[in-house]
Amino acid sequence: MFAPLEQVGRAEAVASRLVDAINLGLLADDEQLPSESELAAQFGVATVTIREALVALRHQGLVETRRGRGGGSFVRAPSPASPASWHARLKAVSLSDLRDVGDHYIAIAGAAAKLAAERSSPEDIERLRLATEDLRTATAAEAARAERYFHLEVAAAAQSPRLTHQEVQLQSEGGGLLWLPLGVQESHEQAYAEHLAITAAIAGADGEAARRLTEEHILGALDRLAEAHLGLVR
């Protein structure tokens, strides 16, 4: 998230990355951001650029600045979208768009799972197990975020910065559609079981199984979305 920008001096690019990190749950509600000078060094931009980006985030209600001892910039994560909000979003997307997003996502997530099985460390496996348990105990609204976070952990375990960047980009641009909170308990329990299986395959260094299980997991999510989409259109 804090990798240097390709084009230095763009407050919009810094703000966009921070917005993605907040929406994906990489930055938690009430988490304190690094100081302006630390952020500037990590992004490779001037301090004034960071200041402009934080102003933009404050206007969006995603960052709060506190003064005095213990002050700084703190994350204000948005409230979960209401059912009416995601119903409208899903209804506006065509089946061909869903399929296109799914095809891209399967290619990235499947490759990441295979590489994770070949390259992951014991610490990576432990994070995957913790992310899986987060889904088991999550409510309907929290489940969507837990689902996204699990796949980000898989991408990170692949030890490929480009794949991880693609995962973040897909989730922020359109891949997040796959994990809308449909509120179906059976699909929640099924997703948890599938995460367990994917984690076991990665822990067992079985790359082909990890890829296949991940692809089947995403295809199942696509099928549920397509069914929900058709129901909304009707």
Q: Last residue of some domain: 49, 75, 101?
A: 75
Q: Is 133 helix (H, G, I), strand (E, B) or coil?
A: helix
Considering its fold, how many domains does the chain have in total? 2
The pLDDT value recorded for residue 148 is 87
- Cα 203 to its chain centre, rounded Å, is 22
The pLDDT value recorded for residue 215 is 96
Same domain, 206 and 142: yes
Give the CATH number for residue 103.
1.20.120.530
DSSP state at residue 174: T
Same domain, 102 and 49: no
pLDDT values of the chain reduced to their tens digit, one per residue, 234 residues: 676 665 545 788 888 888 888 877 778 889 999 999 999 999 888 999 999 999 999 999 999 988 888 889 999 987 766 666 677 778 888 888 888 888 999 999 999 999 999 999 999 999 999 999 988 888 766 788 888 889 999 999 999 999 998 888 888 766 567 777 665 555 778 889 999 999 999 999 999 999 999 999 999 988 888 888 888 888
Alpha-carbon distance of 124 to 159, in angstroms, equals 10
Alpha-carbon distance of 191 to 213, in angstroms, equals 11
- 53 CB contacts (<8 Å, ≥6 apart)? 11, 12, 14, 15, 18
Helix axes of 140-157 and 95-119: crossing angle, nearest 10 degrees: 50
Would 1 be classed as within a structural domain?
no
- List helix spans (H) across 60-160: 83-92, 95-119, 122-136, 140-157
Q: Is 179 helix (H, G, I), strand (E, B) or coil?
A: helix
Same domain, 48 and 71: yes
Same domain, 92 and 204: yes
Burial class of residue 123, CB neighbours in 10 A (0-12, 13-18, 19+):
exposed
Would 118 be classed as within a structural domain?
yes
Would 60 be classed as within a structural domain?
yes
Is 98 in contact with 229 (CB distance < 8 Å)?
Answer: yes
- Helix, strand counts (H, E) of the chain: 10, 2
Same domain, 118 and 215: yes
The pLDDT value recorded for residue 219 is 93
Same domain, 88 and 62: no
Q: Last residue of some domain: 47, 75, 103?
A: 75
- Tokens representing residue 226 in the block: 């397509």
Give the CATH number for residue 18.
1.10.10.10
Dmax of the chain from CA atoms?
56
Measuring CA to CA, which residue among 191, 118, 193 is closest to residue 154?
A: 118
Alpha-carbon distance of 75 to 31, in angstroms, equals 5
Same domain, 32 and 144: no
The pLDDT value recorded for residue 8 is 45
Would 6 be classed as within a structural domain?
no
Would 2 be classed as within a structural domain?
no
Its domain, for residue 91, covers 83-233
Which residues are paired to 102 by β-bridges? none
